[in-house]
Structure 1
Amino acid sequence: MSRPIVAIVGRPNVGKSTLFNKIAGRRISIVEDKPGVTRDRIYAEGEWLNKYFTMIDTGGIEPASDDIIMSQMRRQAEIAIETGDVILFVVDGLEGITSTDKEVANMLRKANKEILLVVNKIDTPKTPDTIYEFYELGLGSPIVISAGQGLGLGDLLDEVVKHFPEDKDVEYNEDVIKVAVIGKPNVGKSSLINKILGEERVIVSDIPGTTRDAIDTYFTHGEDEYVFIDTAGMRKRKRINENIERYSVVRSLTAIERADVCIVVIDATEGISEQDTKIAGYAHDNGKAAIIAVNKWDLVEKETNTYLKFEEDMRRTLSFMSYAPIMFISAETGRRVNKLLDLIKVVSNNHSMRIPTGTLNDIIGEAVLMNQPPSDKGKRLKIYYGTQVGIKPPKFVIFINDKELMHFSYARYLENQIRQSFGFEGTPIQFEFREKGEKED
């Protein structure tokens, strides 16, 4: 069972994103007075009268446009219409009907879906006479709202939930694996997601910055459920010139926070850069499971040891992320993409792994016997016991006699011994050292 899907469609700049954000209760879509700002479908969760649903905000439809981005936005809206249970067709009540509105209405009538005609930007309680011209679209009685002022939204949502299929009102499975695909602009993040999904759900073009928002795409593989979050590429700060670009970096960081697993995509033809390192660092600092995906490997001219030299350079530059597996892939040809999906599940499981206290202390005891703890001025570090206190990432508290005696090198030794015993591939693990009897902060 899945939630009902509510798709918000319409031509550019009629207030779709404002409506989306108002219902979602937080600023998710980029709202800017510029046509085409919302280029992809943006997902969010909504609730009304104890009915849970997923909303999709789409790029504006321009049926007659030949522009490559506009044509792909149209395709994104078509996919939203195909997958939606209820379609909100938003029009501009101030501007009135346009030829584009009529063409969109023709598309919607062929969809054989529940369509609600939403007339936006009516900021007064009294309905203007101009509202009646929208009956011409042949989509039933218009629902008058002001998304900006929040007027009429309750009446609109009342109508929305009336049209939900009866078997679609549950929340998503909590076991879903959330995967953020992160990296610089134009390294192939959207292409990678499209290859995994087997369909063009995310706009792909060679124009850097095409994906401006973080986009959620739900996907099942066998018995496993995934949410792939395609993020706007994060540029160096000095290159961020537009407000929209600033919003996009915030979306990328938010996507990392929401994710369980981060796939750090690096362009093999460019090598690893300082910006790649910073992006990977965001995932590491947030305690996320991580995979380094070196994309476009098919375009690299190979010589003897090319693979080994590249991997050594990656390991040296990303030394803080030594736990992250590196996979050389091609989103274009699909090389090793299926193996990447298997690896996502492995690192996600490791991110959630719990070690029984007895087993953990056996490993710590063996580690101490093999390598005695350090001492200082005749006082030796004593390790009493350890216990796991958290997951995502796994976190351990180790009780000792004196925190001043716990050298960084010995803490790293203990981590390595635990990793050798339990793996933890793809996930950071965190340690907190407490003196016996010390209370938690």
Structure 2
Amino acid sequence: MRYQKECVETILEMCLKVIRIYDWLLDLYVLDFFVDDHWNKLPVTWRRTFEHMDPQHLGNILSNRPSNQLLPLSFLALIKTVQALTLPRESTFKKGDSKKESNNLDTCKYHPRLKNLFLKHVKLKKRHEISLMADVVVDTALQSGCNSVIDFGSGLGHLVRVLAYRDDMNAAGIECQTQLTEEARKLDLQLEYTVKKYLSPEAIAKLRRPLHFNVTLSSHQQLLSLPLPASMQNYGLIGLHPCGDLGPLLLKHFVESPNIKFICLVGCCFMKLTCDGPDQGYPMSKFVMSLDSKLSFWSREISCHAIEVYCERLRKGNYGDLKIHAYRAALERILVEHDPKLRHAPVRSIKHSDTMTFEKYCYQAIERVNLPLPTSPAVWSRGHADLAQWRRVVVVYTLRLALAPLVETVVLLDRVLYVLERNLSCEIRPVFDPALSPRNHIIIAKRI
């Protein structure tokens, strides 16, 4: 989706106005539900409406499906506003027409025995992301007249392996973990060993082997000193879910480096963004910096949750395991009342089971804290009373999640605007299936 600079500014300003109104809801942390009495922070009309509503209906409402529930006008207005302002999440990506040697079977891409060559050692979610990301990168590279690309945070090198061996691009991966880089090189050799069984010596000789660099990036200036071959002096940048500030760092490198012809960036881990200082990852654009643009850690954290998966579980009535939020919140009240210093103590994450008692959950959760639990019957009675309110916990968490796309939209459009302010082409597309890959938007910027 292509935006004009003025349009992006308008959307961002409106999103932030709504967020400012509902900061109180976004900043509620589920652990503190009972400690801070979250339920009574909701407007009275919301409490009356959601007190006895089956969470299944909430799943329908947030999924924009028909509902016969009578809802407060303030809540309806909020939901419609969020839906109108936020980036669409349903994938619309269609692969472009590119000139390919579709009749040449003597290649990694088209040989029938090598069809699943690039799926080995790759999980389903990653297969989905790599396949579509590679298609987007190839199309963007063709439009930019650039056949070289560098992938940052390349891990085991699955994406650069596809781009090099399959799509015949000059590809390099940058990874900070030495072990992953070494494993990526081993996987390259394993792939070549398999390919040699099916392709001719001439085709083998033409294969482009990806490069793998071991670098920990702290400044985009480091990228200028990479020992790239002459064939990669002009290149495109790829970031498939770079964590925290790495995404903004890549955008800064793109806008400041004329030799970088394009960038394809999928962000994630917004809660790890630095939000102050000269190298902050949010806000990036001058316009958003001029606004009241603060996004708390908790609002950025919930914006990274899988809203489609969560709503589907609500809709199908599979929300029993969501009780785990209530278990943890009830335990939090016990810990804080025992010792306020134990607030947000790093207890173990325990999966919920319908057969698990609250007492068993608590004992397993605090194993690492090494704290004896209270023995008073009154304490356990209070804990069970809290658990009886688990539907309220689900409601408040769901209401927070309803605002999450608004926060993600602000973070992503701030990045788009950062590029547009420098008079470069930029668009953003929902490419991945959000049920498989919740952070599914790709920012595509080109220097043409």
TM bin (shorter chain): under 0.3
Structure with the bigger percentage of helix = 2
Structure with the bigger percentage of strand = 1
The TM-score, its normalising length taken from structure 1, stands at 0.24
Higher RCO (Cα < 8 Å, 6 or more apart): 2
Which has more radius of gyration?
A: 1
